[in-house]
A and B are shown apart, each in its own frame.
Chain A
Amino acid sequence: MSQLVPLPIVLPLLGAALSVVFGRWHGFQRLVGVVCLSTSLVISIVLLVAADDTGFVVAQGGGWPAPIGISLVVDRLSAIMLVVSAIMLLAVLVYAIGQGEVERVHAGFHPTYLVLAAGVAASLLTGDLFNLFVSFEMMLAASYVLITMGGRAAQVRSGMTYVVISLVASTFFIIVLALIYSATGTINLADLSERIPELSGEVQLMFAIALLVVFGIKAGLFPLFFWLPDSYPTAPAPVTAIFAGLLTKVGVYAIIRTQTLMFPIDARPATLILVVAALTMTVGVFGAIAQDDVKRILSFHIVSQIGYMIFALGLFTVAGVAAAVFYTFNNIILKTNLLLVAGLVERRGGSSRLSEVGGMVRTAPLLGLLFALPALSLAGLPPFGGFVAKFAVFDAGAWSEQWVLVGVAAFVSLLTMYSMTKIWAGAFWGEREEEPSGRPEPGGRLGGPVLMVGSTAAVVLVGLAVMIWAAPLYAFTERAAVDLLDPSRYVEAVLGERP
C-alpha cells in the first residue's frame, strides 16, 4: 500500500512532462490531463479506504528511515482532503476543456494545471515541514502562471500583488523554518512533535504564532486576507474556481496539521485563533455585501468561510476539530461549485457584474438550479451539507461554551444568506440595468456548453452526496479528529515503535 502514496504527486508531474513535450497535440494534452487526474483520484480513494482501515499509511522517500528521509504520510485528514481535491481538480479540468478559451490558446495551461495538482497533493501528503514549504512553492508557482495566463492588464496588476504577497509569506516561512531548525535540530513533523514540547513555553508559543501567520497569509485569515478578493476574480473562470476551492483550504489544512501535531495543547494560541476567526468571518462577509461583482462577492465569502473553519479548530476539542475538517472539505466543494457557476453566468451574460446581468432564471433556468443548491448550502439551510457543517461548528462551539463566537457565526450566516440572495436577485431575477461590458454567448437550452454545465452539475451532485452521507462522513471526521488530537499515534506511525 505504501507504494501508492507518492503516486498522487508523481503522476500529475509525469502528465505535466508529457503534455509539455507533446504540446503541439492539443487532444493528447487533454487526454493526458484527464487520464492522470482520474488515475490519481482512484488512487486517492484507495488510500482513503486504507487510511480509514489502519489509521495511517506511511511511505519513506528514497528508502531512508523517517527522521532522515522524506516522509509521506496519509492519515484520515489528508486522505479525505486528497480525495475531495482530486475530484475538484478533475471536474475543473473538464470544465476548462469545455470552455476552451485559455485552455485552447495556451499550450502551457495543461502542464501548469497538472503541476498545481501535484503541488496540492504534495502539500497534503508531506510529513516534513520543509517539504511542506517546497510543496507550497510548487503549488504557488503554478498558481502564479495560471492567474496571469492571458496577460491582460488587470491580470498583471492583480498578479503582482498576489505574487509579491505569496513570496513574502514564503520568505517568512523560510525564516520560521530556520528558527525551528536551530531550536530543535529537525524538520520532520513527527520528530518535531516530540522535540517542541522540550522547549520553553514562550519559544513554543512564538513558533505556533509564526506558523499561524505564515499559513494565515495563504489561507486568508483576517488581517492578512486583503490580497485574496483582489487577485482571484481576474483569473480565467476555471482557474478562479480551483483557486477558490483548493488553495486557501490547503492553507487551512496546514494550520490544522501544524497546530495539532507540532504543539502541545497549552502552547496553542487558542484564544488568538478564536478572535481571528470571529474577525475573519465578519470582515469577510461585510466585504462581500459591499461588492457588485459575482466573482468578488464569492471571493470575499472565501475569506468569511475560512473564519468558521478556524473557529472550529480553535476550540481544540474532538467535536471542534471534526467540525473543522468537515467544514473544510464541504467548503472546497461548495466554493468550487459557486465559482464554476459564476463562470457560466459570466459567459452567458457577458459580464459577472450584477448590474449588467439579469433575468437568467428565464433564459438559463438550469444555471439557476446549479447556483441555488450550493448557495443555499453555503448559507447553511437545512437539509444541505452546509447546514450539517455549520451545525457541527455551532454544536462544538456550544459544548465549549463559546457563546459570543456562536452568536457571531450565526449572525454571519444570516449575512451570507443575504448576499446569496443578492446574487440571486441580481443575476437570475429582474432585468439588467446596464449593457454588459463583454459579449454574451448564446448558451442554448442548457445555458452553456455540455462539458461545462456537465462538470458543474457533477460537482453539485458531489455536494448533494455529502448531504446524503453526512452521518458516515461526520463519523469519519470524528475519527480523524481523535487522531489529530493525539499526535502520539502519528509519531508512532512515522517513526516506528518506540521502546
Chain B
Amino acid sequence: MSLLIAFVASMLVGCGTWLLLQRRLSRIIIGVGLLGHGANLLLLVSGGRRGTAPLIGVGDAADFADPLPQALALTAIVITFGVTTFLLALGFRAWQISNDDVVEDDVEDRYIARRAQIDREVADEIEAERAQAAEEDRR
C-alpha cells in the first residue's frame, strides 16, 4: 500500500516539476498544485502503517494510526490551497495587464546588459578613433 502511495507521490512530484519549468503561469500553478499533492502524500506515508481511527476510537493502543502526519498534511493542504488561490489571482492580474500569463524576463537585467553593450561600443569607437589618429600621426 505505502509502495503504491510512494509511487503516486513520485509521479506527482515528477509531473509537477515538469510543469513548473514551463513559461506560462497557468501551467506553473498546476505544477505547484501537483507538487504540493505529492509532498502531502509523502507526509501522510511518513506516519507508517495503517490503523484504526485515533483519538476517538476504542481499541488496542497498538492498532491506532499515527494522527500527527494527518494533522500536518491537513495543515499543509490548507496552506497550499490559500497560496494557490493567490497565484491564480496573480495570473489573472497578469492576464488583465498583458493579455497573457507568460512569466517575462527581468527588465532591469536587460537594461544592465544593454548598458554594458553601449559601454563596449563606446570603448570600441574610442579605440578605433585612437587607432585612426595614430595612423594619421604616422603618416
Contacts and interface: CB of A to CB of B under 8 A. Distances in A.
Direct contact of A and B (CB under 8 A): yes
Chain B at the A interface: SS class: helix
A106 interface: no
A335 interface: no
Nearest to B112: A290
B106 A156 contact: no
B8 interface: no
A346 to B, nearest CB: 14
B79 A148 contact: no
A228 to B, nearest CB: 12
A182 B87 contact: no
B94 A156 contact: yes
Interface in A294-324: 296
Interface in B108-139: 108-109, 111-112, 115-116
B83 A167 contact: yes
Contacts of A224: none
A181 B87 contact: no
B15 interface: no
Given A153-B97, A157-B103, A230-B106, A175 B42 contact: yes
Q: How large is the interface on B (under 10, 10 to 19, 20 to 34, 35 or more residues)?
A: 35 or more
Interface string A151-179: 10110111111011001101110110111
15 contacts: A130-B72, A151-B93, A156-B90, A156-B93, A159-B90, A163-B83, A168-B20, A168-B32, A168-B35, A171-B36, A177-B43, A178-B42, A187-B68, A230-B109, A292-B111
- Among all A-B residue pairs, the 8 with the closest Cβ atoms: A182-B46, A174-B39, A178-B46, A178-B43, A178-B42, A181-B46, A137-B79, A171-B39
Interface of A: 130, 133-134, 137, 141, 144-145, 148, 151, 153-154, 156-161, 163-164, 167-168, 170-172, 174-175, 177-179, 181-182, 187, 230, 233, 290-293, 296
Interface of B: 20, 25, 28, 32, 35-36, 38-40, 42-43, 45-48, 68-69, 72, 75-76, 79, 82-83, 86-87, 90-91, 93-94, 97-98, 103-104, 106-109, 111-112, 115-116
